[in-house]
């Protein structure tokens, strides 16, 4: 992976999917609380490794 002009052969690209979108100064990109306590209904209550999960 090319990171600012340097090649990092063992780099991992990690993406966080925060919803709703937005990273605003003074606001956290998450809600404090119990893991998976605010998963959307479309996920059917699925929780995997403390993250909302929608199984196929």
List per-block mean pLDDT (blocks of 10 residues) for the chain, which spans 56 residues: 87 73 71 86 84 79
pTM of the full structure: 0.42
What's the pLDDT at 22?
Answer: 63
Residues 6 or more apart whose CB falls under 8 angstroms from that of 47 comprise 35, 36, 39, 53
Per-residue pLDDT, 38: 86
DSSP H stretches of helix in the chain = none
| Amino acid 21: pLDDT | 63
pLDDT at 7: 92
Distance CA 8, CA 3 (A): 7
The two tokens of residue 25 are: 């100064």
- Sorted by sequence, the CB contacts under 8 Å of residue 45 that are 6+ apart come out as 36, 39
């Amino acid at each position: 992976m090319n990171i600012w002009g340097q090649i990092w052969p063992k780099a991992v690209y990690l993406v966080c999917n925060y919803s709703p979108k937005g990273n605003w100064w003074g606001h956290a990109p998450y809600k404090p609380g119990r893991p998976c306590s605010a998963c959307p209904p479309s996920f059917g209550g699925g929780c995997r490794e403390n993250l909302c999960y929608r199984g196929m």
